[in-house]
Amino acid sequence: MKTTWEHLPRAQWDELHFAQQGALQQSWAYGDALASLGVDIRRAMVWQDGRLLAIAQFMCKRMVGYISLASCTRGPVWHPDVQADQRAVIYKLLRQSIPLARLKVVLFSPDGTAQQLDAAELRGLSRVMTGYSTVLLDLTVPQTRLKAQMDGKWRNRLTKALANGKIRLHVQPSSKRCDWLLGKELAQREAKKFHGLPTNFVNAFIQAHTDPKQAFVVAYAEVGKNTVAAMLFLIHGRAASYHMGWADEEGRQLNTHNALLWQSMLYLQAQGIEVLDLGGVNTHDLPGISRFKLGTGGRAVTLAGTYF
């Protein structure tokens, strides 16, 4: 096996990432966006006999001046033919060959549940953190099934919102609407005292695409002259991820987010997107948002965790 860290062909990276419905954090555009904001990004490709076996993108930083920390979030992305024993070797190769200072800590957070990972794959690794939970929606199924799998109360709110003639729904890759929503996101972060990726990450992610309109979509709801709710989704190959949302009191009362998410599902499905990642679920700290995501009937998954 051979591991390369420089002069990587993006076309082959994208081909494997897209085919395997790789997570947002392993997309080339995600790395480019963070790099433009000053984050140290390292990428690796693992080859054998000219065949690409795996890709891995790491976010790196210096700790206490002399220790390098590298984190591969929801990766590596594997060629489907790579077996568990080969994966174990690749983890070792990546950890040993990453071009960082000698004192380094390399972490992997595989994009799979504990049940999906073979014990042989994790040979030599120790879990140091519990896994992230999310909800995945399969957009390859018919629309009738998407609706049928919803929680009854969630579906009733959707039906009520769709039947409300006062609500106008829009789903489009609009830069103007994206910038407007980012402004709302900043305001609600300040009001609620929470943090996330810098909002200028979004524009950097969009600009990292040859065709920016294939990188994102904004769904928004209007009542009269007012925009009462909006949601932003980032697209990465055959998958998309919910990134942020906002609603005022009227938008919440009218259940506009149910309608916006449904219309976004239909839009993404029509664009050939196969899976929608609704993002983090935490029923303890964010019970309302978590119930909303789980109510879609998507598959709730908890990833195996972070390994050293």
Phi, psi (rounded to 5 degrees) for 26: -105, 5
Q: Which amino acid is at 163?
A: A
In the chain, CATH 3.40.630.30 sits at: 2-125, 134-301
| Contact criterion met (CB below 8 Å) for 240 and 234 | yes
Instruction: Round to whole Å and give the CA distance between 95 and 20.
Output: 23
Q: Which residue in 143, 155, 250, 267 sits closest to 216, CA to CA? A: 267
Q: What is the CATH number of domain 2-125?
A: 3.40.630.30
Over the chain (308 residues), what is each successive 10-residue block's mean pLDDT? 97 98 98 97 97 98 89 98 98 97 93 96 96 97 98 98 98 98 94 86 97 96 98 98 97 98 98 96 85 97 98
User: Residue 177 is encoded by which pair of tokens?
Assistant: 């609407």
CATH number for region 134-301: 3.40.630.30
Q: Which residues of 92-112 are buried (b: 16+ CB within 10 A; e: fewer)?
A: ebbbeebebeeebebbbbbbb
Give the tens place of pLDDT for each residue, 86-144. Answer: 999 999 999 999 999 879 999 999 999 999 999 999 999 999 999 999 999 999 999 99
User: Which residue has 């790395």 as its token pair?
Assistant: 31
| Lateral strand order in the sheet of 275-280 | 167-172, 216-223, 226-236, 239-247, 275-280, 133-138, 299-302
For residue 9, cis peptide bond before it (omega within 30 degrees of 0):
no
Please list the residues that pair with 78 across neighbouring strands.
54
* Sequence-distant contacts of 190-194: CB under 8 A, at least 24 apart: none
Helix (H, G, I), strand (E, B) or coil at 235: strand
pLDDT number for residue 77: 98
> pTM for this structure?
0.96
Q: What's the pLDDT score for residue 285? A: 77
